[in-house]
Chain A
């Protein structure tokens, strides 16, 4: 079956611009997660959705970052006023339920110039 998909696969933007990153989870998975991976590091947690609600957003670095999942399926990560330090690979994962196996998408590589 289809795995987690993310679009775009690559995004280049200029400092100060707004970007949106999309995640399509595996069908039927109620839990959805966003992570960020910098070069040479492991992924770091950003936010967790159970259904439509953000159950844990403690990993969001500041208020320029926001994520939504309005219908409990597709999620969008939104970054305002991008900074060069936001450059990283943004990974989405989904699981059937909380504390179950997480399956990761291919990521969006964001480069802020």
Chain B
């Protein structure tokens, strides 16, 4: 099955700093999503981005499908950005998301 690897596993930032999170996947995909899991466990949709670039406020994402990776950019980080960021890609059958192990982000003031 498809393998999803995220890096770095942990990231510690000062408020205001920028960061880049990476997601590598082992096969071509039709669906890729980025999520933020907040400290209460809720998975929040950030982007649906099987290819191309999208921006939403301080967050943006780019997926290069031909090279099988996606990047999530966080600019001017805030303490509320803390949590775990997951990349997930759809399996070949199109029936399930396969998640990476996540990047745990801690932003301090």
Contact = CB atoms under 8 A, between A and B. Distances in A.
Interface of A: 33, 35, 41-45, 48, 55-56, 59, 89, 91, 93, 98-104, 106-107, 109
B41 A106 contact: yes
Contacts of B35: 104
B76 interface: no
Nearest to A89: B41
Given A42-B86, A48-B95, A55-B95, A102 B33 contact: yes
Contact of A42 (B31, B48, B101): B101
Centre residue among B35, B90, B96, B98 by max chain A CB count within 10 A: B96
A45 B42 contact: no
A99 B96 contact: no
Contact of B94 (A91, A99, A104, A109): A99
Interface of B: 30-31, 33, 35, 40-43, 45, 48, 86, 88, 90-91, 93-102
Contacts of A100: 31, 48
Q: Give the secondary structure class of A's interface.
A: strand
Given A42-B86, A101-B48, A107 B93 contact: no
Contacts of A56: 93, 95-96
Contacts, number: 56
Contacts of B97: 33, 35, 43, 45, 93, 102
A10 B99 CA distance: 23
27 contacts: A41-B101, A42-B100, A42-B101, A43-B43, A43-B88, A43-B97, A43-B99, A45-B95, A45-B96, A45-B97, A48-B96, A56-B93, A56-B96, A89-B41, A99-B30, A99-B90, A99-B94, A100-B31, A101-B33, A101-B48, A104-B35, A104-B45, A106-B40, A106-B41, A106-B42, A107-B42, A109-B41
A59 B41 contact: no
Contacts of A104: 35, 42-43, 45
Contacts of B31: 99-100
